[in-house]
Amino acid sequence: MLCPCCDREPESISPALIKSDIAKRVRSCWEDCLVNLLMNYWDVSDTALEILASGTSTDLESFFRSAWSIWYNRNLVVFESTCQLPHQIWKFAMGYLKNYKENRRAPYQYRTTGSRKWEAPPNGVFKVNVDGVTSDQGRNSCVGVVIRRLSQPGQRTLLAYSQ
């Protein structure tokens, strides 16, 4: 299978994340990188080791976050027929990392509800359950729906449908 982003060479991890044109253009947005990632022909692990030898753990985080974002963009191309520009991919990667770090530092606040015991919903409220399944081999997909009136004793089923 050819790379969905460049359509020129077989798809594999190192070319997609290190050597591809999009990877090089994304990493050109990395202004304070201590390793010349634009000229290397390493694989992912060699690149990570070189960054560790010449840079910091923050540089390594930036590398892996940008690699994840490049792969995320590849998935956008394959599954949604859309593509981000290199500076958007870089900005997304660094924003995602910053957001993660800020949220990791913030103390988790537990929210409690007023009652821990189950209570029936008000009259006239319906419960709707939906489930579906699909095949990755091109076979038919199915969906099922059940609607119940919860205000009645025994949760009377009003509708059950599947296709």
Give the CA count within 13 Å in the CB-facing half-sphere of 159. 10
Residue 118 lies in a domain: no
Q: Are strands 142-149 and 126-133 parallel, antiparallel or unpaired?
A: antiparallel
- pLDDT value of residue 37: 67
Residue 56 lies in a domain: yes
Lookup result for tokens 């090089």: 24
Tokens of 77: 């191309």
- For residue 160, the 8-state DSSP code is E
- pLDDT value of residue 6: 63
pTM confidence score: 0.58
Q: Work out the percent of the chain whose per-residue pLDDT is above 70.
A: 78
Domain count, the chain: 2
> Same domain, yes or no, for 101 and 132?
no
> Same domain, yes or no, for 101 and 150?
no
> Same domain, yes or no, for 17 and 97?
yes
Mean pLDDT of 116-132: 73
Kindly list the distances between the CA atom of residue 47 and the CA atoms of 18, 24, 56, 70, 163, in Å, as whole numbers in the listed order: 8, 13, 13, 15, 50
Residue 6 lies in a domain: no
User: What gap in Å lies between CA 67 and CA 19, rounded to an integer?
Assistant: 11
Asked if residue 83 lies in contact with residue 25, where contact means CB atoms within 8 angstroms, the answer is: no
Residue 2 lies in a domain: no
User: What gap in Å lies between CA 130 and CA 147, rounded to an integer?
Assistant: 9
> Same domain, yes or no, for 97 and 39?
yes
Structural domain that includes position 64: 13-105
User: What gap in Å lies between CA 51 and CA 71, rounded to an integer?
Assistant: 20
Confidence bin at 152 (pLDDT 50/70/90): low
Residue 120 lies in a domain: no
User: What gap in Å lies between CA 24 and CA 66, rounded to an integer?
Assistant: 11
pLDDT in tens, 26-72: 988 988 877 776 665 577 888 888 888 888 888 888 889 999 999 99
Residue 1 lies in a domain: no
> Same domain, yes or no, for 20 and 99?
yes
Mean pLDDT of 114-143: 75
Q: What is the mean pLDDT of the chain?
A: 79
> Same domain, yes or no, for 85 and 150?
no
Residue 121 lies in a domain: no
pLDDT in tens, 83-107: 899 999 999 998 988 888 888 877 7
Residue 85 lies in a domain: yes
pLDDT of 127 over the 80 cut:
no
What counts of helices (H) and strands (E) characterise the chain? 5, 3
Tokens of 134: 């699909």
Tokens of 34: 């201590």
> Same domain, yes or no, for 100 and 132?
no
